[in-house]
Structure 1
Amino acid sequence: MTEKFDLLVIHLREIREVTEMTGSVVEFASTESAYLEMPPIYLNRGVVFKSVGKCSVSLVEVTRDTRLTQDTVKMKRLVGYCGLILAFLLSCTEQAQEQRKAVFSQGTDCTQIKVRSPKASSGVYVIKPPGVKTPFKVYCEMRPDGGWMVFQRRIGEAVSFNRKWAAYKNGFGNLTGDHWLGLKRIFFLTKQKTKKWTMRVDLWDHEGGSAFAEYTNFKLGNEKAAFKLHVGKYRGTAGDAIRGAYPGIDQNGYGFSTSDRDNDGCSPCIFGDIAEMKCSSRRSGGWWYSRCGSASLNGDWHPGGDHIGWASGLYWQTWKTPLYSVKATRMMIKSV
């Protein structure tokens, strides 16, 4: 059992004495708080102050068995800690206010952010599409033709893309570097009936060249449909690898495949004298494989000088030869 104690509660704007409070934790009335890493401070009448989590500071009562008294720590130590805590909390308050301002200026997608702020620069933003309960971060590529949301980027070997269904569904990597945003998030964005989406694929080779492919009416199906890919009209300089370099390998209308979720249509697929049951095993990484097909940008990244001859590279076979693994890729969408 614990007794009622006089607790010293440190608020953001003042230090106030609160009397006759019980319970295991006393929280700040203000929504602004901080995360503190410091030893416990022992106050008078057997009360312990310590941090208990991110952005929350609490006062925890001590039971009789701890046998702490006000002689445990001298008052000058308490006063010093209180000053440090108050300064830290005020700093945290200012940062939280700046963060709220930034979030308030952002929108439902990168296109809307660019319309609201024409001079906005490329970078990480927080968006909240209609129907999504929790906002999430995305990388927005701010171009003269609008704000594009990047959902795939390959620039090196820092992040492995040889992952299973759950990882591709939820996303992985670093938004400012190699990453996959997540099929679930792309689905929630593109399912909006009030908007249509354009997908752009940017490609860079190892010799300094580049090419692009754009598709109108981009959207994904839900998870029950294996996040089926749908694209409309093509334009660009890289060729329409989604629909394939030859008949019978059109990836448009196919579900997403990973090593543990096969939707590629192979039973098996025959490549010369090689029979493949799973394209993800041969190509490495998840993709909308259609009997493997001509596009696959989530395979293994290969550096210059070692980028030819691999079956598991980053391929766009209407631009480069079948076993040429490109240097860098970027896939992004914008609403129109």
Structure 2
Amino acid sequence: MGRLKELLSTNQEELRAKQREDWLCWISQYRKWLVKECDGAREVCTIEEERIRVMDSTNPPVVLRNYIAQNAVQKMLTSQRKLDKMWNRIFFCGLVVCLICLTEQTQGQKTPLVVQGTDCTQIKTLSPRATSGVYVIQPAGVRFPFKVYCEMLADGGWTVFQRRSGAEVLFNRKWAVYKQGFGHLRKDHWLGLSKVFALTKGRGRRSTMRVDLWDFEGGTAFAEYSDFRLGPERGAYKLNVGAYKGNAGDAIRGKYAGIDQNGFGFSTTDKDNDGCSPCIFGDIAENECSFSEGGGWWYSRCGSASLNGDWHPVGEHIGWASGLHWETWKGPAPYSARASRMMIKSV
């Protein structure tokens, strides 16, 4: 009987030793699996190894296998959740990029302009209560409409093509810029030679040009010219005016003979059409009026009118060669006006 108990005891110890051996084998395999599956997340592996260490060594291998299986399922679900989050982020980022691209494309596309008339005169005729402001016009024969500032006065709508009131906008520009236009329509600006040409071209089309002037003493003056038009660019946008009326004097034709600007092309610092080669003024020889007078203008041996020169503040507005000059109005020393405005009206 004692021998039987001894044999049974020996068998149980051998069984436990076998289970222990299997247990250690499974732990070893599980650790290898952890190293492979943790993918560098060592803190996770450390936690799992600690859980293995504290497990009861008598647990049968089937428990460990179940634990490993459950852990594997859990990690698979965690990986799937991470993958889902990654794809959600990718989708969100892609959506944001698409929205940005669409916004940029929309901003890059100009909103079509709604034409309100062929010029400011027509707009005023069609809408007698129209007020001064920015309008969209499309003169006859012009492919694309453009914006202008309209002065809606009692005698009709005037299209402003030059305004000066300060030094914010520089008028010392080159030919291409004077052709295209610059400045701010509601403030100081030059509409552009090409646009003024478009407003005045065509058989049977007649326009009046008006020049308004303001001095630093509170005075004002004006000059109006009938039959105003500009020639094409190949002729340097040659100036053509008819009869004069007003109280500022006919500075375009000049305060003395030989400086009539009527019939002369436009000049800038990079395109000279002033007729000087050189012009002699006393002991001064002038080759290009745009360098001394400043800005761009229809210079004729320089002449008596030049409203696109340098703007000067009060106290510094007399005696400058470059300025807002209308020499038949102020003199004898060169007087630079406080403000000027040039505009046209179809008749």
Alignment of 1:182 onto 2:182: no
Q: In the alignment, is residue 324 of structure 1 matched against residue 324 of structure 2?
A: no
After superposition, residues 243-322 of structure 1 pair within 5 angstroms as 243-321=253-331, 322=333
Aligned match of 1:200 in 187, 210, 226? 210
| Equivalence for 1:127 | 137
Distance 2:300 2:102 in 1: 48
Cα distance in 1 for partners of 2:238, 2:103 equals: 39
SS class of match (1:52): helix
Q: Distance in 2 between matches of 1:195 and 1:225?
A: 19
Matched, 1:216 2:200: no
For 1:223 and 1:52, the matched residues in 2 are separated by: 40
Secondary structure of 2:98 counterpart? strand
**Residues in 2 aligned to 1:287 and 1:177: alpha-carbon distance in whole angstroms:** 20
* Distance (whole Å) between structure 2 residues aligned to residue 113 and residue 52 of structure 1: 39
| RMSD across aligned positions (CA) | 2.2
Equivalent residues of 1:211, 1:238 under 8 A apart: yes
- What code does the residue aligned with 2:173 have? R
CA distance in structure 2 between the aligned counterparts of 1:324 and 1:171, rounded to whole angstroms: 26
Shift of 1:195: 2.0
As a proportion of its length, which structure holds more helix? 2
Residue 54 to residue 162, structure 1, CA distance change in 2 (3 Å): farther
- Note the C-alpha offset of 1:208: 0.2
Task: Name the SS of the counterpart of 1:50 in structure 2.
Answer: helix
Structure 1 pair 198/55, CA: closer, same or farther in 2 (3 Å)?
farther
Distance across 2 between alignment mates of 1:134 and 1:107: 13
Report the secondary structure of 2:345's partner residue.
strand
State the distance in 2 between where 1:121 and 1:53 align: 37
Which residue identity lines up with residue 332 of structure 1 in the other structure?
M
Q: How far, CA to CA, are the matches of 2:298 and 2:182 in structure 1?
A: 18
Distance 2:179 2:201 in 1: 16
| Equivalent of 1:146 in 145, 149, 156 | 156
Instruction: State the 1:194 CA deviation.
Output: 3.6
Q: Does 2:283 align with 1:234?
A: no
Q: What is the CA distance between 1:43 and its match in structure 2?
A: 3.8
Task: Name which of 92, 98, 101 aligns with 1:52.
Answer: 101
CA 53–210 in structure 1, closer or farther in 2 if over 3 Å, else same = farther
Letter in 2 for 1:132: V
| CA drift at 1:133 | 1.4
CA deviation string 1:164-207 (max 9, x = no partner): 10110100001111100000011111002242100000000000
Whole-Å Cα distance in 2 between the matches of residues 154 and 109 of structure 1? 22
Alignment partner, residue 29 of structure 2: none
Aligned twin of 1:31: none
How far residue 270 of structure 1 moved from its aligned partner, in angstroms, is 1.1
Distance 2:241 2:181 in 1: 21
Instruction: Give, in whole Å, the separation in 1 of the partners of 2:101 and 2:263.
Output: 50
SS in 1 for 2:292: helix
Asked which structure has the greater CA Rg, the reply is 2
- Rounded to whole Å, the distance in 2 between the matches of 1:244 and 1:285 is 19
Which letter does structure 1 place at the counterpart of 2:226? T
User: Which amino acid in structure 1 is aligned with residue 341 of structure 2?
Assistant: R
Q: By how many angstroms is 1:56 displaced?
A: 4.6
What is the deviation of 1:53? 5.3
Question: Once the two structures are aligned, what percentage of the paired residues are identical?
Answer: 67
Q: Which runs of 5+ in 2 are unaligned?
A: 1-88
Amino acid paired to 2:253:
R
Paired letter, 2:346:
S
Q: Please state whether the residue corresponding to 1:270 is helix, strand or coil.
A: strand
**Structure-2 change in CA distance of 1:317 and 1:103 (3 Å):** same
What amino acid sits opposite 2:344 in the alignment?
Answer: I
Q: Could you say if the C-alpha distance between residues 55 and 124 of structure 1 is closer, same or farther in structure 2, counting changes exceeding 3 Å?
A: farther
**Most deviating of 108-117 and 192-201:** 192-201
- 8 Å CA contact 1:43–1:49 kept in 2: the answer is no
Amino acid across the alignment from 2:101: V
Structure 1 unpaired stretches of 5+: 1-40, 58-91
Number of corresponding residues: 255
Asked if 2 retains the 8 angstrom alpha-carbon contact of 1:42 and 1:49, the reply is: no
Give the distance between the partners of 2:143 and 2:238, measured in 1 at CA. Answer: 23
In the alignment, the residues of structure 1 paired with residue 91 and residue 178 of structure 2 have an alpha-carbon distance, to the nearest angstrom, of: 50
1:275–1:326 CA distance, 2 compared to 1 (3 A): same
